[in-house]
């Protein structure tokens, strides 16, 4: 089996890349072991389409949320392409929610200065967009259900991948394997998002950066039963965060209260719980039963499944691993420093999210950068049928042990002592595991910035605004260097 372009991962980024590469004339194979996390997204896609909005305002909000680490060129590209991405999704069959007069129904979410979030199917946007793109694949893209074992190399060039024990030759490979929040035992994403694509890229010679920046969604259900996300749009619609006495404590941390950036709200909740507060809650009762049922049917159904009526009682919440800003270092076309290897979506680190992703920029990133990577892949493809030598991923500990260590040492609140203890628990053989790299990166970055909070280094350090923490195959440990987000010298 072979293809001009092999795309690994069937979420929004992978399907967008596959469709664009096919449109450019490539023979494309799309491989995935499950549907990834795109379909789980409740929030929508951010785009400056309102008369009072502009891409420049959206970019400014993206830069502000990123706490000084967002790459300006990446943010500018993302937001400039947003309206076009929405139009492309509609052309693919996506139906965004609209007001009675036909205008897009735009929601306000945390850290946005305008209502600019488009939804599809209420709070089931991810599933709706995934279904639309999946419907476009037949006749254009071949698909196979398979897991990524390793990338294949010919010399220093990626020449395919080993998929479920079978070697597949390709002129270029686009990784769209998702992030690594699924390694945490309590996560809003799927366990498929375990960082395996990152480790395969690292073994092939690509660089990883910003692994310490893990976004913890402030409002995940924290009662008995399975964890689930309480969408950001609930707070945008007016839901409150309250302590056990009913006090709206988020204003103690930021004048924007519940609508402060995710990292700020997550930190406020984590510090409240660490100080001994028995529980905190999302209170949506004042929104009314009819509005909740009409605008947030999924939220209502999930609450009822665990015995709660959100129209009559507040819902217990806590920060939970949700999204990862770190990943495979790429330029703004998805190209890595390894010839023939590209990456898009959450597994890529373009620099667009900095230290903290702006709400509803993730589906947008998947579509915009997925399409760009798909277009670039055909140009990056090597001619002829390549023959490769398989690379194996670095050895890792069982996910259960890694997860327990990550939850204890690298949660919303971190310290040098806790991170060192986590590394001790992992042991020397795990130094090159995803968890080991994350802990070492978090230990090296001696400051608090965005989603990375060090209780022993509570403030930002201006020197770190110009630096990134990098993992590389030929380096024995992670190291800091000047930031290169979006500006790598891609090898094509």
**Tens digit of pLDDT for each residue in 363-410?**
999 999 999 999 999 999 877 555 555 554 433 344 557 899 999 999
- Average pLDDT score over residue span 56-62: 98
Where do the DSSP E strands lie in 311-364?
Answer: 315-324, 327-329, 341-343, 348-349
> In this structure, are residues 29 and 6 in contact, taking their beta carbons and an 8 Å threshold?
yes
Residue that is written with structure tokens 């930021």 in the block:
254
Longest Cα–Cα distance in the chain: 68
Q: Write down the pLDDT at residue 459.
A: 95
- Helix axis angle for 362-380 and 12-23, nearest 10°, is 40
Q: What pLDDT score does 394 carry? A: 39
Alpha carbon distances (Å) from 382 to 173, 222, 295, 297: 10, 49, 49, 48
Over residues 313-331, mean pLDDT:
97
Residue 166 has pLDDT above 80, yes or no: yes
**Pairwise pLDDT comparison (386 vs 83), residue with the higher score:** 83
Question: pLDDT at position 14, please?
Answer: 97
* Cα 361 from Cα 60, distance rounded (Å): 13
Residues with catalytic roles? 262
For residue 58, what is the enclosing H or E element? Answer: helix 55-65
* pLDDT tens readout for residues 135-160: 999 999 999 999 999 999 988 899 99
* Mean of the per-residue pLDDT values of the chain: 92
Q: What's residue 415's pLDDT?
A: 98
The whole-angstrom separation of Cα 51 and Cα 287 is 27
| pLDDT at residue 397 in the model | 44
Q: What digits encode the pLDDT tens for the residues 7-47?
A: 999 999 999 999 999 999 999 999 998 777 888 888 899 99
CA dist 468 and 471 (Å) reads 10
Bridge partner residues of 214 (DSSP):
324
Neighbours of 20 (CB within 10 A): 24
| pLDDT tens digits for range 278-316 | 999 999 999 999 999 999 999 999 999 999 999 999 999
Identify the sign of the CA torsion 125, 230, 363, 40.
negative
- Rounded alpha-carbon distances, angstroms, from residue 34 to 40, 112, 147, 226: 12, 32, 9, 20
Show the beta-strand stretches assigned E in 106-205: 106-107, 117-118, 142-145, 148-154, 157-163, 166-175
Separation CA 290–CA 390 (nearest Å): 57
Structural domains of the chain in order of their starting residue, each with its CATH number: 2-181+325-390 (3.50.50.60), 218-319 (3.90.700.10)
Question: What distance in Å separates the CA atoms of residue 123 and residue 126, rounded to the nearest whole number?
Answer: 8
Q: What's the confidence (pLDDT) of residue 367?
A: 98
Work out the average pLDDT over 460-475. 96
Q: What pLDDT is stored for residue 430 in this prediction?
A: 62
Residue 487 scores a pLDDT above 80? no
- List pLDDT tens digits, range 214-238: 999 999 999 988 889 998 889 989 9
Residue among 174, 222, 216 nearest 451 (CA): 216
Give the β-pairing of 280-283 and 240-242.
antiparallel
Q: Which residue is associated with the tokens 């399907």?
A: 15
Signed CA dihedral, 404, 408, 411, 416: sign only: negative
Q: How far apart are CA 326 and CA 180, in angstroms?
A: 9
């Amino acid at each position: 089996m072979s293809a001009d372009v092999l795309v690994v991962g069937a979420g929004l980024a992978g399907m967008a890349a596959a469709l664009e590469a096919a449109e450019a004339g490539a023979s494309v194979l799309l491989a995935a072991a499950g549907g990834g996390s795109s379909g789980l997204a409740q929030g929508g896609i951010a785009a400056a389409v309102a008369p009072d909005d502009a891409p420049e305002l959206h970019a400014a909000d993206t830069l502000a949320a990123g706490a000084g680490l967002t790459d300006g060129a990446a943010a500018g590209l993302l937001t400039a392409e947003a309206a076009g991405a929405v139009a492309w999704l509609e052309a693919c069959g996506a139906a965004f929610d609209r007001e009675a007069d036909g205008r897009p129904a735009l929601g306000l979410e945390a850290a946005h200065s305008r209502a600019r979030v488009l939804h599809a199917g209420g709070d089931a946007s991810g599933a709706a967009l995934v279904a639309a793109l999946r419907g476009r694949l037949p006749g254009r893209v071949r698909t196979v259900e398979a897991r990524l074992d390793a990338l294949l190399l010919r010399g220093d060039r990626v020449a395919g991948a080993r998929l479920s024990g079978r070697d597949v030759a390709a002129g270029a490979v686009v990784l769209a394997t998702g992030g690594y929040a699924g390694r945490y035992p309590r996560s809003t994403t799927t366990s498929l998002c375990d960082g395996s694509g990152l480790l395969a890229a690292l073994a092939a010679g690509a660089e990883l950066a910003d692994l310490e920046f893990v976004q913890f969604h402030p409002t995940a259900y924290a009662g008995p039963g399975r964890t689930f996300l309480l969408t950001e749009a609930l707070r945008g619609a007016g839901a409150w965060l309250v302590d056990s006495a009913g006090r709206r404590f988020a204003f103690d941390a930021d004048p924007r209260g519940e609508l402060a950036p995710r990292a700020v709200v997550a930190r406020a909740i984590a510090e409240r719980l660490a100080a001994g507060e028995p529980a905190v809650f999302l209170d949506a009762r004042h929104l009314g039963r009819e509005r909740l049922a009409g605008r947030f049917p999924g939220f209502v159904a999930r609450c009822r499944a665990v015995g709660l009526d959100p129209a009559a009682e507040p819902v217990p919440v806590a920060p939970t691993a949700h999204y990862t800003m770190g990943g495979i270092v790429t330029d703004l076309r998805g190209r890595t420093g390894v010839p023939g290897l590209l990456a898009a979506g959450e597994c890529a680190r373009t620099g667009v999210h900095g230290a903290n992703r702006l709400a509803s920029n993730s589906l947008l990133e998947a579509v915009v950068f997925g399409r760009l990577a798909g277009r670039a892949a055909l140009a990056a493809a090597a001619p002829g049928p390549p023959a490769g030598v398989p690379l194996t991923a670095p050895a890792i500990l069982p996910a259960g042990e890694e997860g327990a260590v990550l939850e204890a040492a690298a949660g919303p609140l971190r310290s040098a002592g806790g991170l060192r203890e986590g590394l001790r628990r992992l042991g020397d053989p795990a130094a090159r595991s995803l968890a080991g790299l994350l802990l070492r990166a978090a230990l090296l970055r001696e400051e608090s910035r965005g989603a990375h909070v060090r209780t022993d280094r509570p403030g930002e350090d201006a020197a770190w605004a110009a630096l990134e923490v990098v993992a590389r195959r030929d380096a024995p440990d992670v190291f800091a260097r000047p930031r290169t987000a979006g500006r790598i010298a891609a090898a094509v």
